[in-house]
Structure 1
């Protein structure tokens, strides 16, 4: 089981710390407001969106395989179903 901690860094940027067993990884994620609005996630709490994003990723790869720095759109290069799955998880 993974522990996911999220904290604000600066506008539109968040630090996500994932602990799996004895290993901890840190990730810098950009949530661009205009992109989130275009996707229909504009009113979503960033923490909820990031938590579901990392749940999705951790179901498919280990924390050490997740990119250290990325934007949500980057995920679709590796997992084309990401946005559809995220909408289903968030009930959007």
Structure 2
């Protein structure tokens, strides 16, 4: 389960729970970046949830950074922005 909660302007707390416990993450994302990633079709919360689904398909929750800006995902996974629309439509 992925729970995304807005805690400030462009700031989100994310909790990822599975059978092995939970991890907590603080994620930032500007409005402009959110609109770019979703073509303006989805909420920031949905974008971040889709980004976490993308990440969890590639690494365990414990390997995801505790604090990061959404833009850094592409540094680790260059295919992120290309793959994200598929994750947005799967939610």
- After TM superposition, is the score higher than 0.5? yes
1:78 matched to 2:61: no
Q: TM-score of the superposition, structure 2-length normalised?
A: 0.85
The 1:14/1:82 distance shift into structure 2, 3 A limit, reads same
1:67 is paired with a residue whose SS is coil
Q: TM-score of the superposition, structure 1-length normalised?
A: 0.84
Unaligned runs of 5+ in 1: none
Report the alpha carbon displacement of residue 50 of structure 1 after superposing the two structures with TM: 1.2
User: What residue number does 1:35 align with?
Assistant: 33
User: What residue number does 1:4 align with?
Assistant: 2
